[in-house]
Structure 1
Amino acid sequence: MRKRMLILRQSGVLPYRMTAGKAEVLLVTSTRRKRWIVPKGWIALGLSAADSAAKEALEEAGVSGHVVTPAIETYVDRKWGYPCEMELFLMRVETVLDDWSEAKQRKRQWLSLSEAAKRVKSKTLKHLLIRLEAQPALLDQH
């Protein structure tokens, strides 16, 4: 009998806005290590990966907007020793709240794509930010 491998699933968003024709992305700090990351979390029961990612953006960063499907990036990371599939969506931010549910646990900051690429630890996220900077039309079309 074959052993089935547990695969965890998360989704997240890369929140962005256009300011004077230039893209800016919103990063948040993780709650424990205070690293710069994107809003992400477990896919909520009954929600699509994109809807769950939008929920995380509101909770973790206090932003809402248009989530672009399909995911711009899907990759596998390790979480607690298990493979964890991450679906990452672009979100064009329409609303930024002054107060949100995790405001006391996280910082948030709007950054240029190049500055954001310097701050994140994830190689996949770093490469995505560099790719978006090289191909800004990927953001402009949304």
Structure 2
Amino acid sequence: MKSTRRKAARNGAPLRQVAALPFRVTETGAVEVLVLTTRETRRFTVPKGWIDRRRKAWKSAAQEAQEEAGVAGRVKHKPIGTYTYWKRLADHFALVEVDVYPLKVEKFLKRWPERRERFRRWLPARDAALLIDEPQLHHLVEAFGKGTANALIAGGVQRPRLPNAVDRSFETEDAEPQS
């Protein structure tokens, strides 16, 4: 797999990754996004990684969310968008295209592989977008918070939110553990 990535990068073809956009909806109907820091540069981003060739892309995105952020839930099978970034490899930089899959968080894991290597934070989507350096990902998160989440909640059809209505469909039985 690494040799395939190396060949693609040297041929000028962008590499492919997947990302999960973990989200929840508060009692007031606001969309919150879980952002986390990268391990090396400590910049804020969303869980992302290489596509496991034994899995569907959306399942790989859900796996990244479990490993990097300690969350699990329902992931959409179609990405909401794509962003590109330059990845630093051992001997050069490579262009990477990342498909972003929304993940409605339903469970917080008590233990996960990278819990001691990253900082995570729930933020309103607009605030989360402000912390993200990649411009295309910033815009995806911001747009998601403005309306895409409501469409996902309703199964693709916008539904009006009544004032003070509480959407209990996103509540979890597990409380978020202390990070």
Same fold (TM over 0.5): yes
Contact 1:132–1:138 under 8 Å retained in 2: no
Distance 1:119 1:75, change over 3 A: closer
* Cα offset, 1:139, TM superposition: 4.1
**81-90 or 102-111, larger mean C-alpha shift:** 81-90
Paired letter, 1:36:
F
3-state SS of paired residue (1:104): coil
Partner residue, 1:114: 126
Deviations, residues 58-85 of structure 1 (Å, cap 9, x unaligned): 0000001111121001233332433312
Aligned ranges 1:1-142 → 2 under 5 Å? 4-20=11-27, 21-80=29-88, 81-135=93-147, 136-141=149-154
Q: TM-score, normalised by structure 1?
A: 0.89
Contact 1:43–1:49 under 8 Å retained in 2: yes
Task: Mark the runs of 5 or more structure 1 residues left unpaired by the alignment.
Answer: none
Task: Mark the runs of 5 or more structure 2 residues left unpaired by the alignment.
Answer: 1-9, 156-179
Partner residue, 2:161: none
Contact 2:23–2:105 under 8 Å retained in 1: yes
Distance (Å, rounded) in 1 between the aligned partners of 2:83 and 2:131: 20
3-state SS of paired residue (2:112): coil
Distance 1:8 1:112, change over 3 A: same
Query: What is the aligned-residue identity percentage?
Result: 37
More strand by share: 1
Q: TM-score, normalised by structure 2?
A: 0.72
Structure possessing the higher radius of gyration over alpha carbons? 2
Runs of 4+ off more than 2 Å: 3-7, 75-83, 136-142
Paired letter, 1:125:
L
Distance (Å, rounded) in 2 between the aligned partners of 1:6 and 1:131: 28
